[in-house]
Amino acid sequence: MSPEKDAWDAEALKRALERAADLILSETETLTRADQAIGDGDHGIGMARGFNAVKAALPACEPTVPAVLETVGRTLMLKVGGSSGAIFGTLFMAGSKAVSEAPFDAEGFARFLEAGLEGVQKRGNARPGDKTLVDALAPAAAEARATLHQNGGASLGQCLHAAARAAGDGMERTRGMVATLGRAKTLGERSLGHPDPGAISMTLLLRGLAGAMNEAP
Amino acid sequence: MSPEKDAWDAEALKRALERAADLILSETETLTRADQAIGDGDHGIGMARGFNAVKAALPACEPTVPAVLETVGRTLMLKVGGSSGAIFGTLFMAGSKAVSEAPFDAEGFARFLEAGLEGVQKRGNARPGDKTLVDALAPAAAEARATLHQNGGASLGQCLHAAARAAGDGMERTRGMVATLGRAKTLGERSLGHPDPGAISMTLLLRGLAGAMNEAP
Amino acid sequence: MNKARKILNDPLRVADELLEGLVLAGDGKVVKLPGVNALVRPDLPEGKVALLVGGGSGHEPLFHGFVGKNMADGAACGDIFAAPSPDVPYEATKAIHRGNGVLYLYGNYAGDAMNFDIAAEMAAADGIRVETIRICDDVASAPPERASERRGIAGDLYMIKIAGGAAATYPTLDEVVRVTRKAVDNIRSLGVALAAGSIPQTGEPTFLLPDDEIEIGMGVHGEPGVGRQKMTSADALTAQMLERLLADLPFKQGDSVCLLVNSLGSTTMMECLIVNRAARALLAERGITVHATDIGPYVTCQEMAGFSITLMRLDDELRRLYDLPADSVGYRKMGKAGA
Amino acid sequence: MNKARKILNDPLRVADELLEGLVLAGDGKVVKLPGVNALVRPDLPEGKVALLVGGGSGHEPLFHGFVGKNMADGAACGDIFAAPSPDVPYEATKAIHRGNGVLYLYGNYAGDAMNFDIAAEMAAADGIRVETIRICDDVASAPPERASERRGIAGDLYMIKIAGGAAATYPTLDEVVRVTRKAVDNIRSLGVALAAGSIPQTGEPTFLLPDDEIEIGMGVHGEPGVGRQKMTSADALTAQMLERLLADLPFKQGDSVCLLVNSLGSTTMMECLIVNRAARALLAERGITVHATDIGPYVTCQEMAGFSITLMRLDDELRRLYDLPADSVGYRKMGKAGA
Ligand SMILES: Nc1ncnc2c1ncn2[C@@H]1O[C@H](COP(=O)(O)OP(=O)(O)O)[C@@H](O)[C@H]1O
Ligand SMILES: Nc1ncnc2c1ncn2[C@@H]1O[C@H](COP(=O)(O)OP(=O)(O)O)[C@@H](O)[C@H]1O
Ligand SMILES: [Mg+2]
Ligand SMILES: [Mg+2]
Ligand SMILES: [Mg+2]
Ligand SMILES: [Mg+2]
C-alpha cells in the first residue's frame, strides 16, 4: 500500500472520473442493448450524452473534491434525462455533500457511496430487490465500509476494487429479479433473465474508478 | 295478342310493380354480392329497403297511372339511399311525367323508359359504357321503341319482354367495361369481369314487369 | 393486414348510433330530426341564412361534427361512406330554413350530388330557395382546367368554417354564396395515403397498398391519386406535396394563408407537427405567411394512415370569417380577440 | 403485426422536431426556450401564478400541446416516452415565474417525479416557490386506499383545464393548489387497450396483446391493468368500464360531471361517439347529469387502439373553471357565454 496513492486530490479525482467516463462511453452499445431488452432502449444514449458532458465540464471545475463530485452530479442530472439522469445525478450530488475538502481517501469513498445511496433511495424509493442500480450500489457501499473496517483501515485502492466487485456481483443477481419500479416494471415476469441496465452502468462506473488507481498519474 | 292485356290500368300496374318488387327482394343477396365485388356492398340492402317500402306504399296510392309511377319514384328516392336511390327514384319520377292518365300501354311503356332514361342521364351524367345501369336501361328503352315500330304496333307484353331481354344483354356486357363513375370507379381495371350491380337491378325490374304480363290478374 | 379492432355494436347501425352519441356530446346545441339522420341547431333566429352540409358517415368529425355556432346549421348524414337519401337533406332543409334561403355545401361526389340535388328540387317545390356549392379542393383528382370535377377532402373544414361564418353574419344567401365561392377558389388540398383504414361493417381494409408504398393524392376511400412511390422522410414528402399544392392555385410570395395539417385517422399529432415544421420552412422560403394553423384528425377515413395539407389563401374578408369563434363537437375555437 | 408506417425524419430527433412544429402551430402564442425542450407563453403578466406541466413526448397533444390561454403556462418536454431532465422544468420555471410561485402538474410516473422534484429543489434554491401535484386518475393502477400511487392518464386534460383556469384567475399559489387538489379528488379515468401503438424510433409495437384480446385498465405504454378478456361490444365494454369507474369515487345520483371519451390514437371519433352514447345512457340511469363532453385524441400513445373514459365531478367552482374559454394548439374552446 503506497501512501501517495492512498488518497486522490481533486486533480487525481478528475482524472479517475474521466477514466470511468471513458469506460462507460466504450460500453454505450451494451447499455443500449440491455435497456432494449427490458426497458425503452435509451439508457446507453442518455449515459453517453451525460458522460461526454462530464468530460467537457471537469477541466474547468474548481479543484476541490466536493466541487468535482458536485459538478459531475449536476452535469449528469441535466444531461442524461429519464430515470437514470435523476438517479446518477443524485448519487453524485448527495455524495459530494458527505466528503470534505481533504483528499479523497477510503473513508471519503465509503462516505460518498453511503450518502449517495441514501440520496438515491430518498429520490427514487427503490429498495434492494427492486431490480434497479440500487442492487449494485447498496452492496458496493456496504463492501467499501466492510473492507475499510476489516483490516483496521484499508487503502482507497482496496476499497475501490472491493466495491466494484460487489457491484458486479449485485448486477449479476438482478438477472434473477422481477422489476417492480421504472419502465421495466411493465414487463413483469418478462424482465427475468436480463440484468438491470442501471446496475450495469453503476458497475462500470466503479470499475472505471478502480482501474484509475492502478494507472500511472 | 289479347286486347285486354294490351294495357294496364292503374290497379294492374300496381300488381305488376308488386311482382317486380318481389323479384328484386328475392335477389337481394345477388345484388349485395355484386356490389361487394366492385362497390361498397350496400346495393342489395338499399334496394330491399326501397322495394319493401314500395310494396307498403302502393295499396293506398291514388289509382292513376302517373300517380302510381310517381309514388314508386318518390318512395325509392327517399328510402334506398346512395347513388342507386337517386337513380331509380329519378327513373320513376321522370318516367311518370311522360305517361298519360290513360291505361299503361306499349306506347306508354316506351315513353316511360325514354323519359326515365333522359332523367337518369340528366341526374347522373352517365353515358353508355360508363358501367352503370344506363348500360341496361338505354338498350331496354331503344328495344321497346323498336319493337313497337317493327310490327307496325306491338303489344305491351311484347315490348316488356323485348326490353327485359335487351336489359339483360346490356347487363352482361357491363362485365367487359371498366367503371368510370360512382364508387366502382375506385377499382379501375379491377372492376373488369364483374357485372354492374345497378344494371342487374334494372334487369330484374323489367323481368318482373314482363313476368306479370303472363300472370292471371 | 390484420382486421381492424373496432369498438362497435351492430355494424349496420353505426350511423344511427354515432349520431345519437353526437347529439349527446353536443350538450343541447344540436338535435336530431325524427325519422331521418339529420342534425340541426335548434336555436336559429328568424331570417338567418341557413347552411346545410352532409355526406357519408365514417369520416368523423366531418360532417355532422361541424354543426354549431358559426359553423353549419344542419347536417344530412348518410350511412358509412354512402350519400344520404334526399329526404335527409330535404327534412333538414325544412328544419333550418328561416325564410332567407339555404346553402348546400358538401363534397363533390356523384352520390352526394344526386341526392342533394333531388332534395334541392323538393325544397324548391316548397318555395325554399336553395343554392349549392360542391367542395373540390383535392388537387390530385383532376387538372386545374377541370377544377370543378375535383373531389372534396380536408378543405371541407375550412369551407364549413368560412361558409358558417358567412351564414352567421351576412344578411343574404347571395352574399353567403359569393364568399363561399371565393373560399372554393382559394382552398387547395393534397393528401397522402400510407395505409388503409377499414370498413366498419366488415373490418376489411378500404383499399390495398403494397408494403412500403404510399400514394400521393389518393382519395379518402382509396380513389386513385397522383401515383405510388416508396415511403420517404417527412421533410421530403412534405416538400413534394407542397410543391404541387403551391403551383396549383398558384400561391405566391406575399400571400397569407391558413394551414391545415389533417390526419386521416391513425397518423399521430406528433407526425403532423413534424410535417407542419417542414411545411412552415418551405412556406417561409416562398415568402408565404401563415395566419393560423389547424392540426388534427378533422376529415378522416377510419384508422387510415396518412395526412393531407390544406392551404386557404386569405383576403381581409376570409381572414375575418376564419377568425370568428366556433363551437361544434368536432371543431372549437376561441375568437381571435380572446375572451 | 406489421411495422407502423410513420411520417418521420431522424427518429432520434422526433421530440426536437415536433416541438418546432408545435411552436409554429401556436402562431406566436408559445415560444421555445433556447437550449432546452421547454415551451412557454411569452405574454404572462407580472404576479400571475404559473402552471408548469410536462412529461415524455409521444402522447401528443398532451402535454406541450396544452400550453396556452387558460391552460398551462409552460411545458417541459422529454424524449419519446421519457421524463425530461431537470434542467427542462427548471429553465421553464425560471421563464414563467412571475413572482407568485409555480405549480408543477404532471403524470404520476417515477421518472417524471424524480426529475421534476430535482427541478423544484433547484428552483427553491433560487427562491422560487414551487408546489407539486401529480395526476393519478387511472383507477386501474392501484386500489382506492392507495389512490396517490395511481398513474396519470387522460384525466391530464381536465387537470390542466382546471389548474390552468385557476392559475389564470386566482391570485395565490395556495388557491391554485387547493382547487387543483380538489380536481385530483374528483377526476377518475379508466382505459382499455385494443392494440398497441409503436415506438417511433423503431416502429416496433409498444406491447404485445394476443389477437382478439383486450386489456381493461392497461396503461398507455402497456403497463398492466385490470385484466385481459375477449373483445366485446361497445355497449358491453362501456358498461363494464363505467361500473368500475362510478364505484371508485364513488359518483352518485345527483352528481354533475364532465365526460371525456379519449381516443388513444387510432380509435376513431365514430367509435368514441358510440361509446359516448352508451355511457350517457348508463349515466342517465344512475341519475348523473353531464355538464359538458369532450371527445377526441387528447392523451394518446401513438397509433394505439383503445379509448378511455374520464369523469370529473363538478361543484360550482370546478364548473366555472371548466367553462372558461381555452386556447392551445391541442385544446381549444369558446367560453360558455359565447362570443
Ligand atoms: N426509482 C429508481 N431508483 C433507482 N434506480 C432507478 C429507479 N428507476 C429507474 N432506475 C434505474 O434507471 C435505469 C433506467 O435508466 P433509463 O433507461 O435512463 O431511464 P428510463 O426508465 O426513464 O428510460 C434502470 O435500469 C434502473 O437501474
Ligand atoms: N351517375 C350514375 N348514373 C347512373 N347510375 C349510377 C350512377 N352512379 C351509380 N350508379 C348506379 O348505382 C349502382 C350502385 O348503387 P348503390 O350501391 O346503391 O350506390 P353507392 O355507389 O352510393 O353505394 C351502380 O351499380 C350503378 O349502376
Ligand atoms: Mg430507458
Ligand atoms: Mg353501393
Ligand atoms: Mg354506398
Ligand atoms: Mg426512457
Identify whether B1 is part of a domain: no
Position A216 pLDDT exceeds 70? no
Cβ contacts from B onto C, under 8 A: 69
Q: Identify the closest residue of chain D to A42 by CA–CA distance.
A: D82
Residue of B nearest to C225 (CA): B186
**Separation CA C100–CA C93 (nearest Å):** 12
Q: Strands C50-57 and C74-80: what pairing?
A: parallel
Among the partner-chain residues C61, C195, C332, the one whose CB lies closest to the CB of D5 is: C195
Average pLDDT along chain C? 94
CB hemisphere CA count around D43 (13 angstroms): 8
Which residues are within 8 A (CB) of B11 and not within 5 positions of it... i.e. 6 or more apart?
A: B63
How distant is the Cα of D79 from the closest Cα of chain A, in angstroms?
A: 8
Q: What is the mean pLDDT of chain A?
A: 91
ipTM of the complex: 0.89
pLDDT at B188: 66
Q: How many CB pairs under 8 A join A and D?
A: 71
How many domains is chain B built from?
A: 1
pLDDT of residue C204: 79
pLDDT value for A187: 64
A155-172 pLDDT per residue, tens:
999 999 999 999 999 999
Kindly determine whether residue C275 and residue D21, on different chains, have CB atoms separated by under 8 Å.
Answer: yes
The residues, any chain, with a CB within 8 Å of residue B217's CB and separated by 6 or more, are B12, B15
Mutate: best of B83, B87, B123, partner C, most C CBs <10 A: B83
Is residue B153 lining ligand 2, measured as CB closer than 6 Å? no
Residue B133 belongs to a domain with what CATH number? Answer: 1.25.40.340
Residue C13: pLDDT over 70 = yes
Decide if pLDDT at C339 tops 50. Answer: no
pLDDT surpassing 50 at residue A210: yes
3-state helix, strand, coil in chain A (%, to 5): 75, 0, 25
> CB–CB of C326/C73 below 8 Å?
no
Under DSSP, is residue B78 helix (H, G, I), strand (E, B) or coil? helix
Which three cell numbers mark C115?
Answer: 341526392
Pick D187-314's CATH classification: 3.30.420.10, 2.40.40.20, 3.30.1180.20, 3.40.30.10. 3.30.1180.20
The pLDDT value recorded for residue B137 is 98
**Phi, psi of D151, rounded to the nearest 5 degrees:** -75, 160
Q: Which of A160, A159, A113 is nearest to A134 (CA)?
A: A113
Residue C327 — pLDDT band, cuts 50, 70, 90? very high
CA distance B56 to B46: 16
Q: If we measure between CA atoms, which residue out of D4, D79, D11 comes closest to residue D304?
A: D4
Strand order in the sheet with D50-57: D31-32, D38-40, D74-80, D50-57, D102-107, D130-135
Residue type for position D122? M
Span C182-192, pLDDT tens digits: 999 999 999 99
Pure H helices in A80-154: 82-96, 106-124, 134-150
Distance CA C288, CA C245 (A): 13
Using the predicted structure, report yes or no on whether residue D249 has a pLDDT greater than 80: yes
Question: In the prediction, which pLDDT does A184 show?
Answer: 59
Handedness of CA D142, D146, D147, D152 (dihedral sign): negative
Q: Which domain, by its residues, includes B124?
A: 10-211
**In this structure, are strands C50-57 and C102-107 parallel, antiparallel, or unpaired?**
parallel
- pLDDT for residue D337: 57
- What is each CA distance from C177 to A123, B11, C159, C183, in whole angstroms? 64, 47, 11, 10
- Predicted local distance difference test score (pLDDT) of residue C202: 76
Ligand 1 atom with the shortest distance to the CA of D111: 22
How much is the pLDDT for A2?
A: 44
C-alpha cell at A134: 440500487
Residue B123 has its nearest CB partner, among C12, C114, C219, at C114
State which ligand 2 atom lies nearest to the alpha carbon of B42: 17
DSSP 8-state class, residue A99: S
Q: Please report, in angstroms and rounded to a whole number, the separation of the first and last CA atoms in chain B.
A: 16
Which of C81, C85, C224 lies closest to B77 in CB terms?
C85
- Using the mean position of ligand 5's atoms as its centre, give its distance from the Cα of residue A98 in Å: 75
- Report the pLDDT averaged over residues C241-248: 97
C65 shares contact with chain D (CB less than 8 Å): yes
Does B206 reside within a domain?
yes
Give the model's pLDDT for residue D306.
Answer: 97
The 10s digit of each residue's pLDDT in D154-165 is 999 999 999 999
Residue A61 lies in a domain: yes
C-alpha cell at C132: 349549392
Q: How does residue D187 score in pLDDT terms, banded at 50, 70 and 90?
A: very high
Name chain D's partners: 3 or more CB pairs within 8 A.
A, C
B182 touches ligand 2 (CB under 6 Å): yes
The answer to whether residue A188 scores a pLDDT higher than 90 is no
Note the pLDDT tens digit of each residue in C113-134. Answer: 999 999 999 999 999 999 999 9
For chain B, 217 residues long, give each residue's pLDDT as a single digit of tens.
444 458 999 999 999 999 999 999 999 999 999 988 887 788 998 999 999 999 999 999 999 999 999 999 999 998 888 899 999 999 999 999 999 999 999 999 999 999 999 999 999 999 999 999 999 999 999 999 999 988 777 899 999 999 999 999 999 999 999 887 766 566 667 778 999 999 999 999 999 999 998 765 4
Tell me: cis bond preceding C250? Omega within 30 of 0 counts.
Answer: yes
Assigned domain for B3 exists? no
3-state SS, one letter per residue, for B93-148: HHHHCCCCCCCEEHHHHHHHHHHHHHHHHHHHCCCCCCCCCHHHHHHHHHHHHHHH
Q: What is the pLDDT at residue A215? A: 66
Grid look-up 344530412 returns C76
Q: Check if B49 has its Cβ closer than 6 Å to any atom of ligand 2.
A: no
**pLDDT confidence of D339, banded at 50, 70, 90?**
very low
Q: How far is the CA of B36 from the centre of ligand 4 (A)?
A: 8
Rounded Cα–Cα distance for residues D219 and D200 (Å): 18
Q: Crossing angle, helix A43-57 and helix A197-213, to 10 degrees?
A: 30
Ligand nearest to the CA of A184: 1
User: When comparing pLDDT for A108 and C199, which is higher?
Assistant: A108
Tell me how far apart the alpha carbons of residues C295 and C318 are, in angstroms, rounded to a whole number: 19
Is there a catalytic annotation at residue C97? no
Residue A125: Cβ-neighbour burial (10 angstroms; 0-12, 13-18, 19+): middle
Helix B106-124 vs helix C110-125: angle between axes, to the nearest 10 degrees? 110
Residues 6+ apart with CB under 8 A from C220: C59, C153, C191, C264, C299, C300, C301, C304
Q: What is the pTM of this model?
A: 0.92
Query: How far apart (Å, rounded) are the C-alpha atoms in residues D97 and D77?
Result: 18
Q: Is B195 within 8 Å of B38 (Cβ atoms)?
A: no
- What distances in angstroms separate CA C190 from CA A70, C140, C218, D85, one per listed residue? 55, 6, 9, 39
pLDDT at B36: 82
Least confident residue range of C129-143, C278-292, D135-149, D213-227: D213-227
Residue type, A163: A
**A–D contact: 3+ Cβ pairs < 8 A:** yes
What pLDDT does B215 receive? Answer: 65
Closest Cβ–Cβ partner in C19, C273, C329 for D60 = C273
Find the closest chain D residue to A84 by CA distance. Answer: D111
Name the pLDDT band for D117 (thresholds 50, 70, 90): very high
Residues flanking ligand 1, CB < 6 Å: A 35, 39-40, 42-43, 46, 82-84, 87, 120, 124-126, 132-134, 181-183, 196-199; D 82-83, 110-111
pLDDT computed for residue A4 by the predictor = 43
- Report the 10 Å Cβ neighbour count for C210: 9
Contacts of B182 in chain C (CB under 8 A): 110-111
Least CB–CB distance from D111: residue in A79, A82, A186:
A82
Question: For residue A155, how many C-alpha atoms fall within 13 Å in the half-sphere facing its CB?
Answer: 13
Asked whether residue D238 carries a pLDDT value surpassing 80, the answer given is yes
Q: Which residues of D touch A181 (CB under 8 A)?
A: 110
Q: For the segment D257-286, what is each residue's pLDDT rounded down to a tens digit? A: 999 999 999 999 999 999 999 999 999 999
If one residue of D79, D81, D106, D114 were mutated to test the ligand 1 pocket, choosing by the most ligand atoms within 8 A of its CB, it would be D114
pLDDT band per the 50, 70, 90 thresholds, residue C335:
confident
Domain range list for chain D: 15-185, 187-314
CATH of region D15-185, choose from 3.40.1190.20, 3.30.420.40, 3.40.50.300, 3.40.50.10440 = 3.40.50.10440
Chains near B with 3+ CB pairs less than 8 A apart are C
D8-57: per-residue pLDDT in tens?
999 889 999 999 999 999 989 999 999 999 999 999 999 999 999 999 99
Pocket test for ligand 1, best of A77, A78, A83 (most atoms within 8 A of CB): A83
Instruction: State percent of chain B over pLDDT 90.
Output: 78
Which residues of chain B approach chain C closer than 8 Å at the C-beta?
Answer: 40-42, 45, 77-83, 85-87, 89-90, 123-124, 181-183, 185-186, 188
- The residue among D21, B71, B27 whose CA lies nearest residue C283 is D21
* Residue B2 domain flag: no
Say what percent of chain D tops pLDDT 90: 86
Give the list of residues 6+ apart from residue D322 with CB closer than 8 angstroms, or none: D158, D161, D162, D165, D258, D291, D292, D312, D314
The predicted model gives C247-265 an average pLDDT of 98
